[in-house]
Structure 1
Amino acid sequence: MPLIKQYLHISLNLPIIFMIIQWSLSFLVPVIMGVLQGLKRFEAFGLGSGSYSVTRLLTGFLFVMVLGWGINGAILAEVLGSIAIITLGYWFLRDVMSTTQEHLGENLWKDMRSFIFPTAVFTSISLLLVNADIIMVRHYCPNEAGLYAIASILGKICLFLPGAFNYVLFPEAVLANESEKEGSRFLWITLGLTSLFAGGAAFMFCMFPSQVIALFFGIKYQDAAPILQYISISMALMAMTNVIATNSLAHSEFSFLWPLGGGVTMFLTLIFLFHDSSLQIAELLFLSTVFISVGVFLVYFLFKNRKPKKNIRLPI
């Protein structure tokens, strides 16, 4: 813990403890929500996801704005949001939990093992890419961390706004793969909607960054405007890249991990070499996401004619 405090320039233990708790809970959330997604219970999935946001918003307002707990209150709100989504998810899956367990065939475990590793790599790399920049800014440019955090919060709207489309795409793509049907139509619809929502938000943030920041955080944070422009474009590119990655996972095609991993490695290496300001780190994030997006799309078009491996079986 002392090393973490020193790296992030934090003097208190409590925020780190809350972050560790949140990190532990984050392993349960995708398991529960993944089952709901696989069963195509999208109403329950939406309510569960919404409970996280609503709980985090309400408790965050209470802890930070009313009680004045600062960073401790903000992170604690994240923890309570995760607890809410886990609790609600278990409630929606109570019928599944109460069913009689049946023996799972050996082939199923083999298929799961072959799918778990690349999926874990994809999830880990994606989380690292969208969170490492804030950590690096906190380490290399601690005086600018506040401005960067504001730009990051707004910019990531471009990533999360169209995220619901991927939740629908994955089980549909799996079913198309299992039935050996052409599923590209649903892919292009999802990609088009994602481009519309993510691209539209990025366009607004790029054209009117100062006005957007002033609207949500006040005019005193307008210096974050150029950072917001780079982050919003980067997150929009990642949103579109995630569509291709999700579709590839559904077809057990993992070649996209190479440009994704290469881009993250390039990003971390460049930050280690160049970190004069938070704006420079935002520029490096943009450069890396361009590399990743181009690479993932190229890999998809190069390998899309290959016969997919049927590794995933979705319960119906």
Structure 2
Amino acid sequence: MQIIANLKSKSITPEQWFMISVLAVNGGNYLYNLILGRLLGPAQFADAAVLITFLLVLSFAAMTFQLVTAKFSVLFENEVFKSFISIVYKNALVVGIVMGLLIIGFASELQLLFNTSSSSMFMVFGCGVPLYFFMSVNRGVFQGKKAFKALSITYQSEMLSRLLITLGLIIFFNIQSSVVIAVGILASFIFGLLPFKFGNLLPKKTIVLSKIHSKNIKRFFIITAFYELTQIIINNSDILLVKHYFESYEAGLYASLALIGRIVYFIAWMFVMLLLPTVVQLKKEGKNTAPILFKYVGYIATISIIIMMVCLSFPETIITLLFGDRYTAMAPLLWKYALATSMFALSNIFAYYYLSLDKYVPVIISGVFGMLQMGLVIFYHDSLEQVVHMQIIAMVLLLVIQVSFFFFTSKINKKPLSLNN
């Protein structure tokens, strides 16, 4: 009884609730992928992995709107904020429609490029793209205003609906088709819109943003879009290239490896969501921002080491428990892939930190090494092991340069730990 009383007396902050929620959402997404891997087998799972990768690509593209919305939701207030949000929604709708139409229009070409069994799955997926961009702007408002309860609900709604609808169609109707995966993803975009504030979409009163505001928004949008493009390349190009260069069975094996190894990145993403509005607010108040960076780097480094050690010690056990015996051929590569992902996760924290401070050199650095990783895999893909090795090389170099840039800029400043403009 005393323990319960002590737990009740300790209040949980909104940030902590969000972190718990993100862990639950990531767990649900992992469960979704793991069940698909077991139900479909390596060959069919390779098709599902393409759609899941497209979903990740879409999430990074839409993240541009979310981060822009989050940052300026901190800086703007009252009527300026309402006008800004209305403009972002309209632009997000236009971009979403254009991207959706492109995916639908090139569905047949995408089928040939990625050796999938159907083009219909791309058409269904394309129909949901505008909804995802709307959802991302909505999340950006919650993130910027630190409305973590509402932000948690949107992620939970998306995850749960995708999990239940997809698995329901597969299990109860015995439909093992990539189109079913696409239908589940489309439905999850609708549920992910909840809760949605329609007042932000069409405010009663709008004002014209000043030239200074418009310039700052456009500059941040362009840089963020460029950085999210590098995220797409680094995070997803390997799966798509493996699907292109290797047979479906090997591509399915690699997809299972990537899913397990990327757990570090998905955990790191939780800290990125908390990092950006916090750094922007500290900068706005003229306070030192470096300690928050050290805090999150420490968290990610600790988590990365633990995950890599577990993957190194029990690779076959992990793969067997999660995907089954058919995927154990990837066991020797598990800790290596986790290493590459850990390096990227740590580099990512530095890049988003500087992005929050309107310092864009680390963003360009990430772009260069994203292209380097892609180029290395294109030229060196004799085996799946070689593909993983190329990623380790690129990501270790990226982290070394990002850390070096931090210490170099710290020495230049009169106050070594102050990165304020």
User: Aligned pair in 2 of structure 1 residues 25, 274: CA closer, same or farther (>3 Å)?
Assistant: farther
User: Aligned pair in 2 of structure 1 residues 24, 99: CA closer, same or farther (>3 Å)?
Assistant: closer
Residue 369 (structure 2) aligned to one of 253, 260, 263 = 263
Matched, 1:124 2:229: yes
Question: Does the 8 Å contact 2:265/2:344 carry over to 1?
Answer: yes
Residue 240 (structure 2) aligned to one of 135, 141, 144 = 135
**Residue 184 of structure 2: aligned partner:** 77
Residue 213 (structure 1) aligned to one of 308, 319, 328 = 319
**Partner amino acid, structure 1, of 2:145:** L
Question: Does the 8 Å contact 2:289/2:419 carry over to 1?
Answer: no
Matched, 1:47 2:153: yes
**Partner amino acid, structure 2, of 1:17:** M
3-state DSSP class of the match of 1:162? helix
**Residue 5 of structure 1: aligned partner:** 111
Paired with 2:419 and 2:204, the residues of 1 have a C-alpha distance of 33
Residue 144 (structure 2) aligned to one of 22, 28, 38 = 38
**Partner amino acid, structure 2, of 1:178:** K
- For structure 1, the 5+ residue unaligned runs are 311-316
TM-score by length of 1: 0.89
209-218 vs 64-73, greater mean Cα deviation: 64-73
Paired with 1:105 and 1:287, the residues of 2 have a C-alpha distance of 45
Aligned length: 307
Matched, 1:223 2:309: no
Question: Does the 8 Å contact 2:135/2:189 carry over to 1?
Answer: yes
- 1:278-312 CA-to-partner distances (Å, cap 9, x unmatched) read 222122122221122222222222224558676xx
Question: Does the 8 Å contact 1:252/1:308 carry over to 2?
Answer: no
Question: Does the 8 Å contact 1:52/1:84 carry over to 2?
Answer: yes
**Residue 313 of structure 1: aligned partner:** none
Paired with 2:158 and 2:408, the residues of 1 have a C-alpha distance of 38
Matched, 1:108 2:209: no
Residue 199 (structure 1) aligned to one of 290, 305, 327 = 305
Paired with 1:131 and 1:230, the residues of 2 have a C-alpha distance of 17
TM-aligned CA deviation for residue 99 of structure 1: 5.7
Paired with 2:182 and 2:385, the residues of 1 have a C-alpha distance of 25
- 1:76-131 CA-to-partner distances (Å, cap 9, x unmatched) read 3222222222x2142xx345445633332221111111111110011111022111
TM-aligned CA deviation for residue 186 of structure 1: 1.6
**Partner amino acid, structure 2, of 1:55:** S
- For structure 2, the 5+ residue unaligned runs are 1-105
Identity %: 22
User: Aligned pair in 2 of structure 1 residues 277, 75: CA closer, same or farther (>3 Å)?
Assistant: farther
Matched, 1:63 2:173: no
Paired with 1:232 and 1:272, the residues of 2 have a C-alpha distance of 21
Paired with 2:327 and 2:321, the residues of 1 have a C-alpha distance of 10
41-50 vs 107-116, greater mean Cα deviation: 41-50
Question: Does the 8 Å contact 1:256/1:300 carry over to 2?
Answer: no
User: Aligned pair in 2 of structure 1 residues 199, 81: CA closer, same or farther (>3 Å)?
Assistant: farther
Paired with 1:303 and 1:223, the residues of 2 have a C-alpha distance of 45
**Residue 256 of structure 2: aligned partner:** 150
TM-aligned CA deviation for residue 24 of structure 1: 4.5
User: Aligned pair in 2 of structure 1 residues 65, 130: CA closer, same or farther (>3 Å)?
Assistant: farther
**Partner amino acid, structure 2, of 1:135:** L
Paired with 2:259 and 2:348, the residues of 1 have a C-alpha distance of 19
37-46 vs 194-203, greater mean Cα deviation: 194-203
Paired with 2:305 and 2:130, the residues of 1 have a C-alpha distance of 33
Paired with 1:79 and 1:128, the residues of 2 have a C-alpha distance of 23
Paired with 2:204 and 2:400, the residues of 1 have a C-alpha distance of 45
Instruction: Compare CA radii of gyration and give the structure with the larger one.
Output: 2
Paired with 1:177 and 1:43, the residues of 2 have a C-alpha distance of 25
TM-score by length of 2: 0.68
**Residue 276 of structure 2: aligned partner:** 170
Equivalence map 1:83-98=2 (5 Å):
83-85=190-192, 87-90=193-196, 93-94=197-198, 96-97=200-201, 98=203
TM-aligned CA deviation for residue 74 of structure 1: 2.3
Residue 189 (structure 1) aligned to one of 283, 295, 307 = 295
**Partner amino acid, structure 2, of 1:83:** I
- 1:185-223 CA-to-partner distances (Å, cap 9, x unmatched) read 222112212222343223322321211111111122111
Question: Does the 8 Å contact 1:63/1:70 carry over to 2?
Answer: no
**Partner amino acid, structure 2, of 1:81:** S
Residue 345 (structure 2) aligned to one of 239, 247, 250 = 239
Paired with 2:286 and 2:404, the residues of 1 have a C-alpha distance of 23
Question: Does the 8 Å contact 1:51/1:81 carry over to 2?
Answer: yes
User: Aligned pair in 2 of structure 1 residues 101, 59: CA closer, same or farther (>3 Å)?
Assistant: same
